[in-house]
Amino acid sequence: MMKRVLKLGTICLGMAILLCACGNSSKGESEAASETGEGVVQSESETEDTTVYAYDYDVASMVTLGNYKGLTYTMMDTSVTDAEIDAEIDMALTSSAVKEQITERAVEDGDTVNIDYEGLLEGEAFDGGTAQGASLTIGSDSYIDGFEDGLIGVLPGEETSLNLTFPDPYKNNPDLAGREVVFNVTVNYIEGDDVVPELDDAFVESLGMDDVKTVDEYRAYISSQLKDSKEYEAETNRQKELFQKAVANAEVKEYPEELVEQYRQEYISYYQQYAAYSGMEMADFLTQYMDQTEDEFNEDAAEYGKEVAGNMLVVCAIASAEGIEVTDELYAQKISEYAEQSGYADTATLEADYGRNYLKQLIINEEVIKLLEESAEGVPMAETEDAAELTEE
Q: In the chain, count H helices and then E strands.
A: 14, 9
The pLDDT-based confidence of 385 (bands split at 50, 70, 90) is low
The C-alpha R_g of the chain, in whole angstroms, comes to: 30
79-103 pLDDT, tens digit per residue, is 999 999 999 999 999 999 999 999 9
Question: What's the mean pLDDT in 213-236?
Answer: 97
User: What b-and-e string marks burial along 247-281, b requiring 16 or more CB atoms within 10 Å of the CB?
Assistant: beebebeeebeebbebbbebbbebbeebbeeeeee
As a whole number of angstroms, the longest Cα–Cα distance in the chain is 85
Q: What is the pLDDT of residue 179?
A: 96
Please provide the average confidence, as pLDDT, over all residues in the chain. Answer: 88
Q: pLDDT (tens digit, 9 = 90+) per residue, 97-147?
A: 999 999 999 999 999 999 999 999 999 999 999 999 999 999 999 999 999
Give whole-number Cα distances, 138 to 100, 191, 195, in Å.
17, 11, 21
Q: Where are the beta strands (DSSP E) in 319-372?
A: none
What percent of the chain is predicted at pLDDT more than 90? 82
pLDDT tens digits for 242-269?
999 999 999 999 999 999 999 999 999 9
Q: Band the pLDDT of 29: cuts 50, 70, 90.
A: very low
% of the chain exceeding 70 in pLDDT = 85
Supply the angle between the helices 282-289 and 27-36 in degrees, to the nearest 10.
100
Q: Are 125 and 118 in contact (CB under 8 A)?
A: yes
Q: Cβ–Cβ contacts within 10 Å for residue 113, how many?
A: 22
Q: pLDDT (tens digit, 9 = 90+) per residue, 30-65?
A: 343 333 333 333 444 444 667 899 999 999 999 999
| pLDDT > 70? residue 358 | yes
Angle at CA of residue 269, ends 311 and 315, nearest 5°: 10
pLDDT at 382: 73
Instruction: Read off the pLDDT of residues 323-344 as tens digits, 9 standing for 90 and up.
Output: 999 999 999 999 999 999 999 9
Gap between the Cα atoms of 118 and 130, Å rounded: 4
Q: What is the pLDDT of residue 392?
A: 56
- The pLDDT, as a whole number, for residue 163 is 97
